Amino acid sequence: MTGRPLPNAATRPALRVAVVDYGAGNLVSIEQALVAVGGRPRRVRRPDELAGADVLVVPGVGAARPAMARLGRQGLVEPIRDWIAADRPFLGICLGLQLLFEGSDEDGAETLGVLAGRTVRLVDAPTLPHIGWNQVERTRPHPVFDGIADGADFYFVHSYAGAPTASSTGAILAWTTHGRPFVSAVAVGSLVGVQFHPERSGRDGLRFLANVLALARPGAGVARLERTA
Amino acid sequence: MLRRRVIPCLDVAGGRVVKGTRFVDLVDEGDPPILAERYASEGADELVFLDITAAPEGRSTLLEVVERTARRAFIPLTVGGGVRSVVDMRAVLRAGADKVSLNTAAVADPSLIRRCARRFGSQAVVVAIDARRRPAAAGTLPSWEVVVAGGRRPTGLDAVAWAERAVDLGAGELLVTSIDRDGTRSGYDTDLLRAITARVGVPVIASGGAAGPADFVAAVRDGGADAVLAASIFHRRLVSIAAVKAAMAAAGIPVRPVEG
């Protein structure tokens, strides 16, 4: 799958991608996928390790409370909030998206509160966990989906999903249906969050990650504005 | 809509795919990462590696194979065979696997399921159940016994009851193999699948007996399976993943289109 070149897999200097390592699941696959699209991932366990990073990725699977506890112990809660507040390039994957909301029904944990709303159990799901490939239906165009068909399949593994409230519905970028529809992608400024796993979603997943990196390049934001103008 | 998955299974020993391969160029095609990449490009939704290396020294070889595979095939990878502890599971996940399949060791000590699920999450814990149909008197409902050690050792456990227990303990998925059908190419045991899918809420992967595209359709439609797994018919190119998916789609089963 990586035999063919991907768009945006730049020959320019590799972007430095900080991948937050807080013990919530497997980092190997996201690191390998970032390398495949021309990024230079580095595991970050302490705040000082964020220095020099171009993009911050919070991956993770599992429950919110132990994840927040570990982020707290590692001193990473405020640095992550600050990074997002400064509108620096950010990608939250799976639990990394759920943590952006105010709290989680899974275990009552209080989470980062960057987005209004809570993480709730999937409603009317015929099977849980929701495991497998499902369609991601966009609400609007966004450069992270450049070159990817609307309704393309991505790989999911989860039982909960973030539910934005009225003040954050503008962040919704895509929906997916398992039982009832749930929010499968959000985007606000330089922040992107996805419930699916681009690192395990084949060619479209790699393309998505390549797009995220392309947007994080200095000047990419300006180019984006010019293009949409 | 959630797609039903088609999953090739590769039996790996000593770092090589060991059965069902009849390729011209054995040197290259028997290398698990290369086969894995080929399957991924042909539309496989996931991959399962079953390590059938008997000797403990083969483990490091397996981990190296997993690592090379995860670098090339960007679809989910489940590794089974010989995982006996949380430490074993961690090593396999660290090499790049997304899920681990527990079988014999979970039967011997069911708490292993709970411990692995607590440590890594249920989504990473697949419990593999090898089931053999019990002789039944006419007019009675069929039942199945769990067998381990590659089908050689009966356990006395009822397969449906074990499936429910495994889910209670934290299994996020079940890989259900009919030992009666395995390798026979006589179709999946849809009665077995139905008996289990009717009782558990987690996804069930059907295994054992696939011969042609119609069998995959039956496993989903009649057995209620969420995913269908096969080994030799894919390795031998008797059936392509695309043909299986086309048959499923024609039967109204949602599948992920083969990337083209």
SS3 of B248, please?
helix
Question: Which segments of chain B are extended strands (E)?
Answer: 5-13, 16-17, 47-51, 77-80, 99-102, 125-133, 144-148, 153-158, 173-178, 204-207, 227-230
Note the pLDDT tens digit of each residue in B71-106: 888 999 999 988 999 999 989 988 889 999 999 999
pLDDT of residue B26: 36
Name which of A135, A178, A200 is nearest B75 (Cβ-Cβ): A200
Q: Which of A195, A186, A207 is nearest to A134 (CA)?
A: A195
Name the β-bridge partners of A90: A56, A191
Helical (H) or strand (E) element with A79: helix A77-85
Alpha-carbon span A31 to A157, nearest angstrom: 18
Predicted confidence (pLDDT) per residue in A199-220, tens digit: 999 999 999 999 999 999 877 7
* Pick from B172, B173, B256: CB nearest A153: B256
Q: Give the residue, B259 or A96, on which the prediction is more confident.
A: A96
Active site residue B130: yes
Q: Which helix (H) or strand (E) holds A133?
A: strand A130-135
For residue B238, the tally of other CB atoms under 10 A from its CB is: 15
The residue among B2, B38, B199 with the most chain A CBs within 10 A of its CB, best to mutate, is: B2
Q: SS3 for A163?
A: strand
Does the bond joining A129 to the residue before it have cis omega, within 30 degrees of 0? yes
Instruction: For chain B, list the domains and their CATH numbers.
Output: 5-250 (3.20.20.70)
Domains of chain A: 15-228 (3.40.50.880)
Per-residue pLDDT at B143 exceeds 70: yes
A132:B257 CB<8 A? no
Query: d(Cα B104, Cα A225) in Å, to the nearest integer?
Result: 57
To the nearest whole angstrom, how far is the Cα of B67 from the nearest Cα of chain A? 9
Judge whether B109 and B136 are in contact, CB under 8 Å. no
Q: Specify the DSSP element, H or E, that contains A40.
A: strand A39-44
**Which of A9 and B135 is assigned the larger pLDDT?**
B135
* Residues belonging to chain A with any Cβ–Cβ distance to chain B shorter than 8 Å: 1-3, 25-26, 28-29, 32-33, 35-36, 61-63, 126-135, 153, 155, 157-158, 177-178, 197, 199-206
**Omega prior to A126 cis, within 30 of 0:** no
The residue to which tokens 């400024």 are assigned: A189
Averaged pLDDT for residues A104-121? 95
| A153 within 8 A of A134, measured Cβ to Cβ | yes
- DSSP conformation letters of B28-70: HHTSHHHHHHHHHHTT-S-EEEEE---SGGGHHHHHHHHHHHH
Q: Is B142 on the interface with A (CB under 8 A)?
A: no
B1 token code pair: 């809509």
Put simply, the answer to whether A134 touches B2 (Cβ < 8 Å) is yes
Q: Are A39 and A33 in contact (CB under 8 A)?
A: no
Distance of CA B39 to the CA centre of its chain: 15
Mean pLDDT of chain B: 90
What is the distance in angstroms between the Cα of A118 and the nearest Cα belonging to chain B?
21
Residue-wise pLDDT for A151-203, tens only, equals: 999 999 999 999 999 899 999 999 999 999 999 999 999 999 999 999 999 99
- ipTM, interface predicted TM-score of the complex: 0.90
Q: Return the bridge partners of A76, or none.
A: none
Average pLDDT taken over every residue of chain A? 91
State how far the Cα of B184 lies from the Cα of A9, in Å rounded to an integer. Answer: 46
More confident residue, A34 or B17: A34
Residues facing B17 on adjacent strands: B12
Q: How confident is the model over B138-148, as a mean pLDDT?
A: 92
Non-local CB neighbours of A159 within 8 Å, separated by 6+ positions: A106, A121, A122, A125, A128, A129, A130
